Amino acid sequence: MKAFTIERYGKRNGRLSEMPPPEVGNYDVLVQVHAASVNLLDAKIRAGEFKMILPYALPLTLGNDLAGVVVRVGAAVRRFKPGDEVYARAPQTHIGTFAEQIAVHEDALALKPRNLSMEAAAALPLVALTAWQVLVETAQLRPGQKVFIQAGSGGVGSIAIQLAKHLGAFVATTTSTGNVGWVKALGADVVIDYTQQDFAQVLRDYDIVLNSLKSDALEKSLGILKPGGQLISISGPPTPQFAQAQNLSWVLRWIMATLSGGIRRKAKKKNIRYSFVFMRHSGAQLGEITALVESGKITPVIDRTFPFESTAEALSYVERGRTQGKVIVKVL
């Protein structure tokens, strides 16, 4: 089968190559991939930024999100059958959705929303699960709370805004001048044009911040949170709790404790809780998201769709950091 693989780490590495078909375990579902979305995570994995905590064997097929059709199921699988239309964020230890087929553990899969195309469904899993695990699972967002979601025009931001509004929150976000109108249309109550204003000078007394930007934005976010608020980052620095959950070595635990020590101490002084979320697969949570999509509460946002043979170009496009929503690779 054809797959987009890397043989070594590096920003410009990767090509379409012939790979053997996937092996299907007892709890695996073999999926014919119709579409996959491209995430900044894919580019970071290609560059080798996660090789300390995600020690993949090379050559490696890239890709985390998929939508497709079940071809075959393992002997112990009971929830899916051949012909089912499904979508998933592949488990982090078994990625490889930039391929014609992939074997995915059934716990990662959910039935595709009936009202979405394959391309639109592929746009959702990683970003929607990230938004869910930040806002629902970690923050336990309640109606009437104020949440600041950075980078509202990005993949995570565009879904997080819609989810937060569904949960009854007051939502502020940032974006560039050209995106202000359509980010408002997603439901944001306050939209800050970061080319004209500094969010730290505008926002006050927020309950939750979803941080997806660099360290300067992380520290400034402490100033807009009320005592007892939560600063939840998906861009780091990782915490000792994350290192422990990943079963990392004591050396990596020490490194992560050191990296996050500053922001954790500053947050504690202000009676703010700092958390790091590294999204994990969950077919059960995707099922909850499917219900919201089918009821019209969440709609995926697609920036561009690339053909499979242009996967390298799609990765480069995402690395520029100027997308409106998600970038899709059409495999079939």
Contacts 24+ apart (CB under 8 A), 46-53: 46/6, 46/9, 46/10, 46/11, 46/13, 46/14, 46/315, 47/9, 47/10, 47/11, 48/9, 48/10, 51/9, 52/252, 53/246, 53/248, 53/252
Spell out the domain ranges in the chain: 2-123+300-330, 127-276
- Using one digit for the tens of pLDDT, what is the confidence trace for 98-143? 999 999 999 999 999 999 999 999 999 999 999 999 999 999 999 9
Contact criterion met (CB below 8 Å) for 331 and 100 = yes
- Using one digit for the tens of pLDDT, what is the confidence trace for 60-97? 999 999 999 999 999 999 999 999 999 999 999 999 99
276 DSSP β-pair partners: 233
Task: Enter the tokens of residue 73.
Answer: 């199921």
End-to-end CA distance of the chain: 12
**Shared fold status for 2-123+300-330 and 127-276:** no
Half-sphere exposure of residue 292, counting CA atoms within 13 Å on the CB side?
A: 21
- Using one digit for the tens of pLDDT, what is the confidence trace for 191-214? 999 999 999 999 999 999 999 988
pLDDT confidence band for 53 (50 / 70 / 90): confident
The domain 127-276 is classified under which CATH number: 3.40.50.2300, 3.40.50.720, 1.10.10.10, 3.30.2290.10? Answer: 3.40.50.720
CATH numeric code, 2-123+300-330 = 3.90.180.10
- Using one digit for the tens of pLDDT, what is the confidence trace for 247-268? 889 999 999 999 999 999 999 9
Question: What is the spatial distance between Cα 211 and Cα 136, in angstroms, rounded to a whole number?
Answer: 15
When pLDDT is averaged across residues 148-164 and rounded to a whole number, the result is: 96
- Using one digit for the tens of pLDDT, what is the confidence trace for 310-328? 999 999 999 998 889 999 9
Classify burial at 187, counting beta carbons within 10 Å of its beta carbon; exposed 0-12, middle 13-18, buried 19 or more.
Answer: middle
Question: What is the spatial distance between Cα 264 and Cα 278, in angstroms, rounded to a whole number?
Answer: 17
What DSSP assignment string belongs to 209-267? EEE-S-HHHHHHHHTTEEEEEEEEESSSPPPHHHHHHTT--HHHHHHHHHHHHHHHHHH
- Using one digit for the tens of pLDDT, what is the confidence trace for 206-240? 999 999 988 889 999 999 999 999 999 999 899 99
